[in-house]
Structure formats: structure tokens, C-alpha cells
Amino acid sequence: MAGYTPMIQQYLSVKEEAKDAFLFFRLGDFYEMFFDDAINAARELEITLTGREGGGEAKIPMCGVPYHSAEGYINRLIEKGYKVAICEQVEDPAAAKGVVRREIVRIVTPGTVMESKSLESKSNNFIASVAAAGGMLGIAACDLSTGELYVTSFLDTLEGLTDELNVYMPSEVVGDAALLDKLAASAGWSRPVPLTAREPIAAGKLAEQFGEEQLAALSAARLRAVGQLTGYLEETQKRSLGHVRVITAYEPNQFMILDHYTRRNLELTETVRDRSKKGSLLWLLDRTGTSMGARLLRRWIDKPLLSKSAIDRRLDAVETLYRDLILREDFRAELSPIYDLERLVGRVAYGNANGRDLNALKTSLRRIPALAELCRASGSKVLMELVEGCDDCSDLADLIETVIVDEPPVSIREGGLIRGGYDDYLDQLREASTNGKKWLAELERAERDATGIKSLKIGFNKVFGYYLEVSKANLSMLPEGRYERKQTLANAERFVTPELKEKERLILEAEDKMVDLEYARFIELRDQLALHLHRLQRAAAIIAELDAYQSLATVSAERRYVRPTMTEGFGLQVEEGRHPVVEAMMDGAPFIANDTRLNEKEQRILLITGPNMAGKSTYMRQAALISVMAQIGCFVPAKSAVIPLIDRIFTRIGAADDLIGGQSTFMVEMKDIQIMTEKATASSLVIIDELGRGTSTGEGMAIAQAVIEYVHDHIGCKALVSTHFHELAHLEDTLPSLSNARMAVEESGSDVTFLRKLVSGAASTSYGIYCAQLAGLPQTIIGRAYALLDDADQAASNQPAQLPRPDRLAAAAIPERPEPHVAEAPAPGYSVVQLSMFEESAAASAEPQKAKKASPKAEHLAEELRKLDLFNMTPMMAMQWLNDQKAKLRD
């Protein structure tokens, strides 16, 4: 730093404390940035890059933003994933010797944003911490704007880590360096957020924040995660975190587990196509009136319950509001005017709440008594228990009303905040200021009369104070000796008198004291409220829960949903179920309802066949969404529903290539299936759409059959599997708990109608060419496709019978064909080995007289097939075996 000016040396010294952040360095009315920070900020913020002399050989790059508009620039940097360190003057320039002392007062990061303008009101902004200890992984997640802090732990698996982190969708992650490296490389983690290595805070300081009792209940991994997160928050925020005092610990098995792909495929909180809320389950169910209610509802959807009693408790509350329209509307009317209490409390604790924030807090608290009375009169045990002994915080609302004026200014440093009558001395100062201004008005009138100058006026500016202004044309009318010249303008002169100077001193002294005193009284009020944060947070939690109940009840009543019967058994029975979101998006058009019946003995797995666009995917998703809705405590779209507790839902729907990871659709699908085989239990629900479609027909069908058999024989869970391999329908004969079903199709000549109705039995065709015709492909392509299919049929008719094949529907432009049916002729390209590769009797099914002498390689393959222990192979093992055999046959 040698050679630089003292100010630049100070800048460089401070910058060492925030190497990974943009340093906003306060110089007068601007925040300035220098060196690389200036170059990068000018690019990111699209502001002018300049330079200044700093003692070095060349000018130092520099850019800056006005301090009064800095928030917008800071937010833009935060949204891009950067951190910003705020460096302020912490010394009175008038008293400073040399360079004014400056310090970093706060580091703003994506996970620690507090300004409400940059926060989505209906979503949390979590910062998470990850830690490893004692063979366990711990996760702590905090929303600094609301004060919520959650912590959990689980066995040391990367999948478990990403699954749990994805629940919170954190804006930033801190923690163990090695663990963060693994997270960054994980295929299940794709959020582009800052990852910062941090060690835990000292045990003593952690105890000061949370108390020994809360910490004693935490395991080593949880304690380390909380310690890392708390240390990082203290380091960056540099102030008391008075609203972050309660640790909410939970076990993962208290909630249904939904991995990242399942959340995406079911579109629980955002859609796959454009990641918008509209079209998601959250969009449908969110009729909340408050921001904290909306955030709570989102958390319920993210973490469905696994306790029957807890689910029934929510359902009881929802049913009360569902059946009483007037009560429900009364709740909505009381909730609507309530501000975001949780974040208002956070601003109070943080020390950045202004007068308008406190009035919003007061307005919100005034609604609590009416809400509590509605709960007591509802007849609902759940609602009455929720507000039992309810603290309405009326004393705090009264205090705010006593101190703060009805319409306070935005700034708390310019006066105009405190009500008259609250502080006697303040009232005296106001009177002195008011009387002084009256005196000035009387002086102006008297001077006009004495001089005869009608345009004479008294004015004020911050440089010269109060003055008498006389135009140059009237200067000759002024008497000599009484007026002291203060300032000369182009067309006027300004003067003062001894009386005016004395009155100015009294008025300005009163106004300065008024502003300082109002600021002091406001800070006293804010500090007094900060002593009651726990009361305010409890009130906010009650309001949020009531709001979530009424939201679920409102949607359920308007859409004629029914209360599900929750069981701890196996069977899932849904009569006339509907896809909730698809139905809502149909704008009143009728939705074709379907039953879903899965039971432990006869029908654990439903194998669904049928054409594309017939509704298979919608049907399977609707079964999953109905289960999710039931376990968050919502009524469901059905005529009746008996729903078991489902511990985890696996979905393999609409796989896409992982281009970044260099993996094909099939590999992504197989990895998901592999996780399912490891994690699924008998209480899980597995949904697989078009299993095995990403590879060749023969291998895809073999893998599909192996997976289905594994789910049936080893996992024993409920499963819905759709497939284009109609030949797999024979599994109904060999797997006692599997049943075939198909989406019904009505055919009339060359016309086809997809009825969207699930019926028993297997489909005979996929109507692939017909779907291509519906998609608008040129008729020449459609005709050519049918011609090629005719050629394949002809070739197949000359081959030995192998497998039944699907027939197809004639296009309008092609000569009329017989109606589709299950053909007796073999399907081209299918072989007995491909379908029955897991049956030792497969080779014996071919007629001896037609069999040709097998090659040594083929004999070796047949021998290997006979040795396979299928029921102890995972799908990934089966796929690898197939790949190895193909390689050997090519050699």
C-alpha cells in the first residue's frame, strides 16, 4: 500500500476484511468503489467507470452510487449472486484527526437480505448450513427476515443432503468445505448460489444466542450446523440477532420425502416449463390473505405430514371452515388487512423499522382479538386450542398508538414522528418553533410597513439562515444603520438585523433539538418493542396457521373437494379422482374422473397401457397429488378417498437428457430407478411413466420387466407404471399383485376419440401414427409411415411367430383398414429371448425342428442367461449385464 494516499490505504485495509464482496466505501454523499471492484461493478450495474488520483503511478479505477439510492444498486448485485460490504463513517468528520475512521457495518449476501422490496413476500429467503459429524449430516436453515430457524440431521448420504436442501431452496449455503465441494459436484444440486466454507461459532457465544437448554437437545451434526450458520450471520450482520432465538428441530421421518425430481415432476410449487407459480399445486391452493400464511402453506406443501393424528387435526380445522361459509368469509375479512407481521418483527429486531412499519405492526395487532373471538365461536376444538390463552399484544399496539403519529414520514431522522402530548419537553420545543415562525411573519409585516417596500420578504437557507431580502430597485428605501448586508444576488440584496439573528438562534436550536429528541423517543419505542419479540412472533404464527386453514378450506369448498379418510394401512382407494391443477386450468370444461384402487394382495401395481395423449401421465400424477394434498391436511378432488400414510413418492416422468452431466435420457432414468430401488419402502408410492423408453425396444422391455418384478417382489409398495410395451401385459399372469389397465379409446372408422377413462385390461395399440397425424405432420409423412408399417407387417408375416404386436389405425388419407385388434402375427424386431430373457424355459419354447445350430457365442449367452439370479439383481445391475453381453457378442 506504500505510495497510496491515506484514504486509499484505508480503503485497501478495509477491503482485506471483505475480499469476496463488493465494498461500498462511504465518501460524503456517495458509496465509492475502487480497483477491481469498480471495474466489475461498472459492468454489472451499467454505471460510468472513472478514475482518480490516489498516490500511485496511474489513476485508480473508480465508480460510485449516491447513498440515498444505494439500496437499488445493492439489490441488483445481490440478485446476480454477489455479496456487498457496506463501509460507513463511524466518526464525526468535525472531530476526526486525519482520515475519518470507517468500518464495515454489514455484509449483505443473497441469504441475508432484509429489505422488503427485494424479498418475495410469499416465499421465504433461506440461508442454509451443512455439516458432518458422527456419521451424520446436519442441515440448519434460517430466514433472517422472519427469524425462523430449522435444523435436522440424517445418515451421511449425498442424496439425503440434496433432497433436504431442495426443500428450502436456499439463496446461499455455508458449512464444511469438503461437504460443499461434494454438493457442488452433485447431480441433484443445480442452484447457482454462493457456497461459503465456515467454521462453527464458539460454544459460549452460541449459548448466549440460544441458551444451554436448546443446545443440549441437539446432536453433534445439528449443533455444528447451527454453530456455522450463527457464526456466519454474526460475522456478516455485525449486530444482535434478537429475533433468531428459537431452534425448531425435526426428524426427517416426520414428513413425506419428496426428492428434487418428484417436486419438479409433480409441479408442487412451480411449473417445469417456465418455473412460474401459475399451474402449480401451490398456485391452486394459495388463497391466503397474509404473506406469513402464504409462506406457511408453501412449507406444508413442501413437507407433507407423516402423522395421522397431526393430519386429522388439520383436516378437522379445515372441515369447520369448509362447512361454514359465513365463518370462513369472516376470517378472510379479518386477515386481509394484516401486514407481514413476521418480517415487521424482523425489522424491529434488526433496528431498521421506521414509523410506517410500526404503524403497520399496530394495525395488524388490532385484528387479533376479532380473530381469536371467531375461533372461540367456531365450535372447532383445533381452532379453540390454537387461540387458548392468546396474547393479543394489545399493550404493544396501544404503546405504538400513543407515540407515533398516524402518517409518519419515511425517514426517522427528520422529525414529524412523535404525537403531541407524549413528551412535555418536545411539546415545549414545538411551541417555541411555532411561536418563532409567527414572530417571523409579524416581523416581515412590520418591516414592510416601516420601509414601505411591499416586496420585502423573510427567507431561509441552510448556509445563511434567516434573512430579509430586498430587490435592488428598492434599496434606496432602506433606512441606514439598522440592516447588515449578508449576501448579494443579481437582482437583490439580503440583510439581517440583531433581532432576526437572535430569533434565528432560538428557532434553529428548537428545531435541532426537536429532531434529535423525536429520533431518541422513536428509538426508545423500537427498543421497547424489541423486548417482546417472542410475543409478536407467537402472534404471527397463530395468524399464519389460521390463514393456511382458511385457504385450504376456501379452495376445497369452491371446488367441491371431499375430506379424505386417513389410515395407517396399505390400501389407497380413490373414487372418481380428478387432477386438481388440470381441472382448475380447464376453465369449467368437464374433467373425466377416474378411480384409483391399490391394495396389498390383489393390486399393488397397476400396469397402464394406451396411446400417447390419452391421459396416462395425468392419471398417475393425480394419484400422487391427491396423496400429497391429503397429507398436508387438505380436502381432495374425488367423490371419496381413503388415503394411507405414504412415506415417500418416487416419480420417473418425462425424463430429459442431462446435457451438462453428459448423460442420456436413459441413463438419467436408470439412476432415478436405482435410487428408488435403494430408498423405497412398502409404504412408498412409485410412479414410472414409459419405463425403458430411452433405449432399444428389446433392452427397454427387458429392463422394464425387471424393474416391475423387483418392485413387486422385493419392495412391495404401491406403484403406477405406464408403458408402450403392450407385450408386458403378460406379467399379470405371473405377478399376483399386478393388474393391467388401459386408457379407453373409442374408434369409429378412421376417427379415434381418447376417452380419458381408465378401464381394466391391456391396450392393443399405441396409435402412434394417429397421434402424429393429430400433431399436424404433413399427410405425405403419415402416408409413408403407414406404407413402411405395411412393409414391416409383410416381412413379419414370413417369420416364425414370436410376440403379439399392436396393430394400428388407418389414416384418413390411406385406404380403409380393418379396425385395430390384437394381431396374431409377430411384431418385427422382437425375439423370444428379448421378452423372456428372465425365464429359463424361454429357450425351450422354440420348436426344435426350426432351431438352427447356435454359434458358440450364442450358446455361451444362453448359458449365462440360465445362471442369472434375477430376484437379487437391481435394474442397474441388469442393465450393466446386458451391456457386457452386447460387447462380448460384438468382439
DSSP string of 656-700, one letter each residue: --BTTTTB-HHHHHHHHHHHHHHH--TT-EEEEESTTTTS-HHHH
Profile the chain (891 residues) by mean pLDDT over runs of 10 residues: 84 95 95 96 96 84 94 93 95 84 95 82 95 95 97 89 93 95 86 92 94 96 97 93 96 92 92 89 97 97 97 98 97 97 95 96 97 96 95 96 96 93 90 83 89 91 86 88 86 89 82 91 97 96 98 98 97 97 90 95 91 85 97 98 97 56 63 86 93 75 90 96 87 95 79 82 74 78 80 66 36 35 32 32 39 61 67 58 70 64
820 appears as a binding residue in the annotation:
no
**How far apart are the C-alpha atoms of 287 and 551, rounded to whole Å?**
5
- Residue range 592-644, pLDDT digits in tens: 999 999 999 889 999 998 777 778 899 999 999 999 999 999 999 999 999 99
234 CB neighbour count, 10 Å cutoff: 16
Which residues fall within 8 angstroms of residue 439, CB to CB, at 6 or more apart?
503
Compute the 3-state secondary structure of the chain and give helix, strand, coil in percent, each to the nearest 5: 50, 20, 35
719 appears as a binding residue in the annotation:
no
Record the pTM: 0.83
Cell of 130: 451443512
Domains of the chain and CATH, by start: 6-108 (3.40.1170.10), 120-254 (3.30.420.110), 286-393+532-558 (1.10.1420.10), 424-508 (1.10.1420.10), 565-830 (3.40.50.300), 836-890 (no CATH)
352 appears as a binding residue in the annotation:
no
- The pLDDT of residue 461 is 85
Burial of 848 (0-12, 13-18, 19+ CB in 10 A): exposed
Which residues fall within 8 angstroms of residue 520, CB to CB, at 6 or more apart?
none
- State the alpha helices, DSSP H only, in 351-423: 355-365, 368-377, 381-386, 394-403
Any idea what DSSP says for residue 713? I
Single out the residue of 709, 691, 619, 613 nearest to residue 655, CA to CA: 691
For residues 880-890, b (16+ Cβ closer than 10 Å) or e, as one string? Answer: ebbeebeeeee
- The pLDDT of residue 696 is 72
Residue with the three cell numbers 437499488: 72
**Contact of 586 with 619, CB cutoff 8 Å:** no
- The pLDDT of residue 841 is 36
**Contact of 105 with 88, CB cutoff 8 Å:** yes
Largest CA distance in the chain: 139
593 appears as a binding residue in the annotation:
no
**How far apart are the C-alpha atoms of 782 and 413, rounded to whole Å?**
76
Residue 334's SS3 state is helix
**Contact of 743 with 769, CB cutoff 8 Å:** no
Which residues fall within 8 angstroms of residue 251, CB to CB, at 6 or more apart?
152
**How far apart are the C-alpha atoms of 613 and 618, rounded to whole Å?**
9
580 appears as a binding residue in the annotation:
no
810 appears as a binding residue in the annotation:
no
615 appears as a binding residue in the annotation:
yes
Q: Where are the beta strands (DSSP E) in 585-639?
A: 594-598, 605-609
692 appears as a binding residue in the annotation:
no
**How far apart are the C-alpha atoms of 160 and 155, rounded to whole Å?**
8
- The pLDDT of residue 186 is 85
**How far apart are the C-alpha atoms of 483 and 498, rounded to whole Å?**
9
